[in-house]
Structure 1
């Protein structure tokens, strides 16, 4: 006997699929409108984001002072001034030499790519295909343009400098107010929201803050260790531009997976151009060892709680963020993905069916008897 399809069930399935599709379309439309609004308000959103990221770094010393009985305004002012002094010192001791050597760094990378092209065209590979050569030319031009814009954007262009200063000043003021009034924000927010939102939104905000703080502080610590160890290795080998390469390694640590590959490739290319193939291989070995130490030793020790994201999800998030918003998108992709995971986990917890109660002790005793 052959089974026939039920028209009633088929129509019900189609209606369910149509309703689910319409709901998904509404969600995507809401996300698109939200992104459009954020894009229009980016001049305000970007300082807010930078201020939050800086607050995650400066909150531990502020909390230490608060626990010692300091007033919130005094503790926030002290930490803000100290942070500003440290930032000025970093700019004076590191950023200025890096900016002055940005042209040499860009030329070194381009020359390294040209040497790789010549090596690939010779024996034993003997690659002479026109498409391969065109790909190398494209890589050279993109590396020159990308590195030049990324390293020199801070020091070239009046508009860029002015926007950067405005963003820095706003972020600094926002960081001060976040440090001063941050502990009172969630109770205030709970009083402003009606019903269950007074519980759900502060709970999600607290979890998001913990996740964001753990990510920023752990990435900063791991990036600093990477920069010190790789910079020391480059100095021992005798590779030039040690300071710019160490700074690039530290900054790239905030872009997981792709950042480490990019910084390592730049260091190897500089070593290949200046010191030859042997030193380039030594630099490659140093970078591989440091990256293995980072993944297997530094990261588990420094980051007590992971982001709960698979490596493939991180890679896709960084790729999508870079395609949508360039370098800024790559930097913010992983924190945003982690915050989305926090919200999803909380919603899943609230929607989870309660577990059925277990059998009473009396029932269990009766069953035994």
Structure 2
């Protein structure tokens, strides 16, 4: 290589890049070092993301295998969180724990059976009337189509109806298999409900011994963290079910009264359906309201259906903008968008059961994140133990050694 070529290779940059960097600053401002750090950070984040997605995928696969046994446990926890105050009240009246649990569950069953027993005669009496009114409505619709100033041949409509009927008749085997699978599903539901009540009995009877038993094996530090965390989850689930029950009852009461005043058939049945549908946020209310409007349209005509629609919209607006935010904000603290997204994902994954369990699961995850955030802030000394609202209750005769005091001592040790 000639001297001239060597000079060209080491010639200064024409743009003057890097000319003002001092030798002592080269290690600090080295672009290769900075880009290397960024690459390592992106790689680390990517691996964490891949591992997290893989773990969620494995958890989803395992969940399919244990779902049959896990579902009654989840439902029992939700049911017990609502019935626990009743069982505790019976215990305060000197009921033995087993008798208090049995009495609470039998009382719930008596209420449910009584409601559905009262619905039976109404459905059998008014159901046939609705079917006849629906047939008359279809005939009137055909007459209206014939009177329209369009070239619509009624025989073509009749032909479409006949083709649809023949198609249904040709699918009798599929319908029969569907009935068999429906019977199998019904038996599965009965088994799930039975197991749910059995687990609920044991939770109501011996549930208060679970956390003390758990602390024996986890140690004091983890045990009291678990105690506070489980207490928050338990109270959140209880608050959610109670808030949903209150909101659903208000909806069912006022919509049922309105349907009765408007002389809509099956008003009592529709009120009961509205109550149970209210436990599925957003979707349940829309479905129950649509059913009421359709029945009003078939039975009493378009004017009555519009009045029912107005009634449902007014009640649901008052409930959604006044009552529900007050009750559920205290119970869960979830934004409406999170509730809607949770219900959508839950219904897509597990149907009606998933839609019902979506919000409690989202609320439980929110409790976990909030507790972790509080513990991080406590260890960083951004907050003090006095700033944390401890949900673990006072138990025992010595307040200084109560569960609440033990949790506070744990927080004080973490912040010191």
Q: Which of residues 184, 201, 220 in structure 2 aligns to 1:176?
A: 201
Per-residue deviation at 1:319?
0.8
Unaligned runs of 5+ in 1: 127-152, 358-369
Distance 1:96 1:187, change over 3 A: farther
CA shift for structure 1 position 92: 2.0
Per-residue CA shift, 1:306-350, capped at 9, x if unaligned?
Answer: 411111111111111111111111111111111110011111111
Task: Give the TM-score, by structure 1 length.
Answer: 0.77
Q: Which residue of 2 aligns with 1:331?
A: 356
Change (3 A) 1:24 1:200: farther
Structure 2, gaps ≥5 residues long: 1-14, 19-29, 151-177, 385-416
1:272 deviates by: 2.2
Alignment partner of 1:71 is 2:96 = yes
Root-mean-square deviation (Å): 3.7
Matched, 1:92 2:156: no
Question: How far apart, in 2, do the equivalents of 1:206 and 1:236 lie?
Answer: 45
The structure number with the bigger radius of gyration is 2
Q: Which residue does 1:241 correspond to in 2? A: 266
Describe the shift of the 1:257–1:67 C-alpha distance in structure 2 as closer, same or farther (beyond 3 A): same
Cα-to-partner distance string for 1:291-310 (whole Å, 9 max, x where unaligned): 12313443356557141111
How far residue 96 of structure 1 moved from its aligned partner, in angstroms, is 7.8
Aligned length: 327
**In 2, Cα distance between the equivalents of 1:59 and 1:107?**
47
Residue 48 of structure 1 pairs with residue 102 of structure 2? no
- The higher-RCO structure (CA 8 Å, 6+ apart) is 1
Aligned residue number for residue 293 of structure 1: 318
Q: Which of structure 1's runs of 4+ aligned residues deviate more than 4 A?
A: 1-5, 95-113, 153-156, 300-304
SS at match of 2:330: coil
Q: Distance in 2 between matches of 1:258 and 1:87?
A: 23
Relative to structure 1, is the Cα distance of residues 110 and 156 closer, same or farther in structure 2, using a 3 angstrom cutoff? farther
Identify which range, 329-338 or 33-42, moves more after superposition: 33-42
**Structure 1: distance between partners of 2:17 and 2:376:** 37
Q: Could you say if the C-alpha distance between residues 47 and 72 of structure 1 is closer, same or farther in structure 2, counting changes exceeding 3 Å?
A: same
Partner of 1:18: 43
The whole-number CA distance in structure 2 between the counterparts of 1:60 and 1:329 is 26
Q: Distance in 1 between matches of 2:286 and 2:221?
A: 45
Following superposition, the deviation at residue 111 of structure 1 comes to 11
Q: Within the alignment, does 1:191 sit opposite 2:216 as a pair?
A: yes
Question: Structure 2 vs 1, CA of residues 304 and 187 (structure 1 numbering), >3 Å: closer, same or farther?
Answer: farther
Q: Is the 8 A contact 1:222 1:299 kept in 2?
A: yes
Matches within 5 A, 1:114-125: none
Spell out the pairing of 1:267-278 with structure 2 (5 A cutoff). Answer: 267-278=292-303
